[in-house]
Amino acid sequence: MRRRTPRRLLGVLAAATAAFTLFSSASTAGAADTSTAAATSASAARSADAAARPLSTSTPVVFVHGYTGNASNWITAMSVFRLNGWSSSNLFAYEYDSYGNNITNAQGLASYVNNVKAKTGASKVAIVNHSMGGLVSQYYLKVLGGNTSVSHLASIAGANHGTTYAGACLVFTTCQQMYPGSSFISQISSGDETPGDTKYATWYSACDGIIIPYTSTRLDGATNNNVLCQTHIGYLADTIVLGQIADFIAS
């Protein structure tokens, strides 16, 4: 994995949505010895490399909500992305039927991504999902071949291997599919969980409370980030995690 250059971001107060940008100060050495000259040369090389590989904030981002969620779940996330260089015209929220069928929901996501690509002229999009949105996204990327249209996938507390919490709503097909051991879970978790050239990352926490077991979010082959303590819904306002996701997608 390429070493990433320092990013501007990481911390936006949820209430005020104000950004704290980290700046790295350049060293101004005055000594003329060989070691100082070498360090200066290396610093210049890193700066040139950073200029050659700017943050990719032009990638359209499609946000996929969780069970009973909607587009409003992503208000804070979109604010964080805008503060990190994204245009509002490149931020999209896909909505689906939480009580229907996640196969149908994934097919709808495929159509939605195609529309975003046509509207923006981009060849690929990034996907950020939450909770059951992980199932919708994984089915799209793995079963429907959507990985060819997705540069990055970030799964926040995704129910990627199911959750026993879904036992409370098994009257709905989506919850049946979300229960560990379901045929739907088997289909998206068998074999390669991170297919194609897509970059995958997950964020999960023992304090989740909804994704049980909380390690269900992890994907083999992904960069799996264990958050010290965050609740399932709390992620949606966690500007630190959202900032990390913006940085991941910009890489």
List the catalytic residue out of 151, 152, 232, 238.
Answer: 232
List the catalytic residue out of 152, 208, 216, 238.
Answer: 208
123 is catalytic: no
Is the bond into 213 cis (omega within 30 degrees of 0)? yes
List the catalytic residue out of 79, 98, 131, 151.
Answer: 131
Reading the block at residue 212, the tokens are 């049980």
Residues 6+ apart with CB under 8 A from 123: 117, 149
Closest CA to 242 of 132, 113, 156, 158: 156
- Spacing of C-alpha 144 from chain mean position: 19
Q: Please check whether residue 225 is in contact with residue 204, taking contact to mean a CB–CB distance below 8 angstroms.
A: yes
137 is catalytic: no
- Spacing of C-alpha 164 from chain mean position: 23
3-state secondary structure of 149: helix
131 is catalytic: yes
Residue numbers annotated as active site: 131, 208, 232
